[in-house]
Amino acid sequence: MIVQKFGGTSVGDVDRIRAVADHIARTRKHGNEVVAVVSAMGKTTDDLIRLANEVSHSHPGRELDMLLTSGERISMSLLSMALADLEIDATSFTGSQAGIITDTDHTRAKILEIHPSRILESIKRGSVPVVAGFQGVSTDKDVTTLGRGGSDTTAVALAAALNADLCEIYTDVSGIFSADPRVVPTAHKLNEISYDEMLELAASGGRVLALRSVEFAKNHHVTLHVRSSFTWEPGTWVREENEEMEQAVVSAVSHDTSEVKVTITGVPDMPGIAARIFREIADVGVNVDMIVQNTSREGLTDISFTVPKDDMNATMNVAAQAAKEIGARDVYADPDIARVSLVGAGMKTNPGVTAKMFETLAKEGINIEMISTSAIRISCVVREDVIERAVQLLHEAFEL
């Protein structure tokens, strides 16, 4: 049994939907059961949000979710009809009908459990289930959406609940690359990658898979295959790390220009001060990424951290207030930064990677402003205007 997820561009118009129906037919002909999960067509979601902005300044989460979930209803019923045209019986299911139960946190609900009885019943009578991605029904019986990357999460969670052999994520790129091919023309497609590497890539600027869907796949041992619905060629397998998997020291260089650096200067260097700042930022729902605290001088220190650009204003408001209360000197935001990261499972056993990364950047005069590391990732914040050069240099230096 294969769960096949088709993203917005994969069902972007009538021709693409017919191509997806053809592909499902072929997959079945090869002896597989298929469960399809679809996103809304192309720009549907953007169009609906534009309408909401035109009609009102108030967008209660429950109503926004009701609005946005109409998008998948359209794509899933059209795909079912396209399958019917190929004489394949298909049955579409909303998140609610598919038994996807979420919490009540509208616009970014979490899946609590899945009761796929109607999907199983559909498979049993030979009808291909076509499931709406991105949506569920809350414990309060209201329609919810799962937020960014929600359709990937639906597909992975369904694959886990149905104990499927594989979850295929069809998208508009042909897999996971060693770097963004627009920046590094010689970047190559990775044939396979471990969950942990994929998590680090997703967290450090990779836009192909949403972080939470990879987490879900790792926790539930769902094998993923990320591939193109335009070329249909084999893509990148994402699975458990194993001995046969080549442990590349560095698998990929990723970069991210979506963050901003916030610095609070003259912070009294006393226990609990930093905690207080970050608690208040967390309380307004902002995810802080990298944090650097300078060495203290005369009892004062500077604290820098990065947050998503979209959260800059909220963060600055909170940080300015907190700075005042704790007697810090100043708060400023610097949007002209970018982050370059090296990711590789083999890093764990190769201590020289950090040094080589710093040397490579230093040799070209690229200044490193912040550093953060995990067991299989090193990230450096640099000026935004040199980020592409940094990616190219590292891709070359590590012979990717």
Number of C-beta neighbours around residue 32 at 10 A: 15
Q: By C-beta, is 74 or 312 nearer to a copy of itself?
A: 74
Burial label, 134 (beta-carbon count in 10 A; 0-12, 13-18, 19+): buried
Q: By C-beta, is 18 or 261 nearer to a copy of itself?
A: 18
Minimum distance, C-beta of residue 85 to a copy of itself, in the bound complex (Å): 4
Report DSSP letters for 241-302, one per residue.
--TTS---S--EEEEE--EEEEEEEEEE--TTHHHHHHHHHHHTT-----EEEPPPBTTEEE
Q: By C-beta, is 108 or 348 nearer to a copy of itself?
A: 108
Minimum distance, C-beta of residue 139 to a copy of itself, in the bound complex (Å): 15
Minimum distance, C-beta of residue 54 to a copy of itself, in the bound complex (Å): 4
**Total number of residues shown for the chain:** 400
Minimum distance, C-beta of residue 232 to a copy of itself, in the bound complex (Å): 19
Minimum distance, C-beta of residue 322 to a copy of itself, in the bound complex (Å): 32
- Which residues is 259 bridged to in the sheet? 308
Minimum distance, C-beta of residue 11 to a copy of itself, in the bound complex (Å): 10
Contacts to a copy of itself by CB under 8 A: 14, 17-18, 48, 51-52, 54-60, 62-64, 66-67, 69-71, 73-74, 76-78, 80-82, 84-85, 90-92, 94, 97, 118, 141, 143
DSSP reduced 3-state for 347: helix
Q: For residue 51, what are its two tokens?
A: 């309408």
Q: By C-beta, is 21 or 202 nearer to a copy of itself?
A: 21
From 59, 33, 32, select the one nearest 48 (Cα to Cα): 59
C-alpha to C-alpha distance for 374 and 389, rounded to whole angstroms:
23
Minimum distance, C-beta of residue 83 to a copy of itself, in the bound complex (Å): 8
C-alpha to C-alpha distance for 107 and 63, rounded to whole angstroms:
10
Q: By C-beta, is 43 or 188 nearer to a copy of itself?
A: 43
C-alpha to C-alpha distance for 254 and 348, rounded to whole angstroms:
18
Minimum distance, C-beta of residue 40 to a copy of itself, in the bound complex (Å): 10
Q: Do 253 and 184 touch, CB atoms closer than 8 A?
A: yes
Q: By C-beta, is 91 or 204 nearer to a copy of itself?
A: 91
Q: Do 331 and 280 touch, CB atoms closer than 8 A?
A: no
Q: Do 266 and 302 touch, CB atoms closer than 8 A?
A: yes
Q: By C-beta, is 95 or 344 nearer to a copy of itself?
A: 95
Handedness of CA 199, 200, 203, 206 (dihedral sign): negative
Minimum distance, C-beta of residue 125 to a copy of itself, in the bound complex (Å): 13
Q: For residue 131, what are its two tokens?
A: 């499931």
Q: By C-beta, is 94 or 265 nearer to a copy of itself?
A: 94
C-alpha to C-alpha distance for 176 and 237, rounded to whole angstroms:
9
Torsion of CA 116, 118, 119, 121, to 10 degrees: 120
Q: By C-beta, is 118 or 148 nearer to a copy of itself?
A: 118
